Structure 1
Amino acid sequence: MALPLSPLPLRSLRDEASLFVRTARLMQRAGMPMFHPTRIAGGLKGILEDPNDTRHVFTLFESMIGPLEVRHVGHFLESDEGRALFAKRPPVVQALADRDGLRRMPEGSLGRAYLAFVEAEGITADGLVEASRQGRITEHVTSPELAFLREYMRDTHDLWHTLTGYRGDIVGELALLAFGFAQMGNLGVGFLVAVGLLMSAVAGKPGAKGLVDPRVFENREVIVGGLVRGLRARWLPTTDWLALLEQPLEEVRALLAVGPVPSYEPVRA
């Protein structure tokens, strides 16, 4: 089966170009330009120094949005599913922070699997919120729709982990980033995945940690597999995750066509 170029179907060239121009102008006016060149190096330097400091991840990703993400943002804003999600504004952080509520969900459900993931990783639903506030370049986005999408993608990140089966180690994060690059096209995301693979291949030494851990490159098939899975899956940004929390995880995986979960040994920083 041929690998699609994007999980989103291509419109006509004229329609794609028109959508791109409208979205790029909206994002520029709202404080989300495609590139912040002066912030790229600082974001990357911070990640290399401490891969666990998520603030720098947000800096890098916002400094390298790029044209592919502009296209995907436009499709979200102008799709029926995206409009419905914006109108609904599901309280993701509130729902995911309610661990007692998650614990009452059926065994084997997406919600219970999410709870098991965050407890195993020692993270909270609002942890990314604080990291994003500290690392973001644009604190206030003036477009309500763009602000919602930015927060929704951030707040559902660990649900993507749960869905795909990638853990919170370096390999799992890079694999999920590769999956996310296929889904949204953020150049900073793709750049970080490439840097991680390159550094672990070229600079990796036995006993090294972080992105220069040689075990990262040894798991390159898992990471590249994230890209392939992301291209073949349904487009996830318009997914109403809260409506799926009580559904069996395996049924949700089949519904969203994420493919089989890979087996690998986690690599911790």
Structure 2
Amino acid sequence: MAYRDGMFPPPPPIRPDKSLAAFFGLMRDKEDTSQVFKFSANIAGLSMLPAFKRWMASRNGEILTGEDPTYILRALDDRARLRELPVGTVGRTYAEFMDRENLRTDGVSEAYHADGLITEEFKAAYPEYAAFIWFQNLTHDMYHVLTGYNRDSLGEAALLNYTTRISGARGIRYLAALASFRIKSEAPEIPVFKIMTNARLMGERSADLIVTDFPALLDRPLREVREELNIVPDPVYAGLSQERLLSLVQPQAA
């Protein structure tokens, strides 16, 4: 389905004050995914329009807005099958990651909807854009698997910096920058800015995951898929102690 004017919703007014409030909320509780959505929504503007157009022109857009809207969800949610795949495949690695982190396949999207950012009225008015946002939320954890970034605060910030080079989302780019300064202030011994730079460069060199057929990757070796997508996990980040990383920016009482 080709992109047509009117599919992309008018962006809300840019409100840096609300974005900053969401940032500090996220720093209090890094598991509160809704704060990421609030931050981005109040500063994104039209920055994601190019990515939306690419997605609409791709097979992903065609399938998810028409013939099989649950195609990717069914593939990623079939944990029993994915656990039976050979060790080192994309699908087996994804299932192990999701099990280890106790994550639901559609958890990111559920958090987005729970915060009221996508209502039934919105989906009725802009079904293609709602499907695009769902696709991005649904594949977020697959990005973790492909890039090698874990769910610690620095890993999430680096993944955002990688992602923004693909999605173009201005809010995500600013959030990644603010998070990097926050983490550096807490852990000056960690090469935070080097890791963020490496994430940005990885995103610039990477294949366009907006148009990638994720279910088609699941049975294939992760090493082979990374090479094909030109994704090289950052050795600087990989060399850090996970124990130290998990101690960063711990949730605090509100």
Q: TM-score range by the shorter chain?
A: 0.7 to 0.9
Letter in 1 for 2:112: S
Residue 27 (1) aligns with residue 8 (2): yes
Give the match for residue 173 of structure 1.
156
CA distance in 2, matches of 1:130, 1:79: 25
Give the match for residue 15 of structure 1.
none
TM-score (norm 1): 0.78
1:220 is displaced (CA, Å) by 2.5
Letter in 2 for 1:114: Y
1:79 is displaced (CA, Å) by 4.2
Which aligned segments of 4 or more residues in structure 1 are displaced greater than 6 angstroms? none
Letter in 1 for 2:100: A
Which residue of 51, 57, 60 corresponds with 2:30? 51
Q: Cα–Cα, structure 1 residues 225 and 261, in superposed 2: closer, same or farther, change >3 Å? A: closer
1:54 is displaced (CA, Å) by 0.8
CA distance in 2, matches of 1:137, 1:80: 26
CA distance in 2, matches of 1:128, 1:260: 23
Give the match for residue 114 of structure 1.
94
Give ranges in structure 2 of 5+ residues lacking alignment: none
Which residue of 110, 134, 141 corresponds with 1:130? 110
1:3-22 per-position Cα deviation (integer Å, ceiling 9, x unaligned): xxxxxxxxxxxxxxxx8xx6
Identity of aligned residues (%): 28
- Please, which moves more after superposition, 232-241 or 135-144? 135-144
CA distance in 2, matches of 1:77, 1:63: 24
CA distance in 1, matches of 2:220, 2:196: 27
1:56 is displaced (CA, Å) by 1.1
1:238 is displaced (CA, Å) by 1.3
Q: Cα–Cα, structure 1 residues 85 and 215, in superposed 2: closer, same or farther, change >3 Å? A: farther
Letter in 2 for 1:254: E
Instruction: Give the alignment's Cα RMSD to 1 decimal.
Output: 2.4
Give the match for residue 83 of structure 1.
62
CA distance in 1, matches of 2:100, 2:197: 25
CA distance in 2, matches of 1:62, 1:133: 13
Q: Cα–Cα, structure 1 residues 120 and 220, in superposed 2: closer, same or farther, change >3 Å? A: farther
Give the match for residue 42 of structure 2.
63
1:125-151 per-position Cα deviation (integer Å, ceiling 9, x unaligned): 132232112234342332221111100
Q: How does 1:157-168 map to 2 (within 5 A)?
A: 157-168=140-151
TM-score (norm 2): 0.82
Which residue of 257, 263, 269 corresponds with 2:230? 257
Give ranges in structure 1 of 5+ residues lacking alignment: 1-18, 205-212
Partner-residue secondary structure (3-state), 1:111: helix
Aligned residues: 235
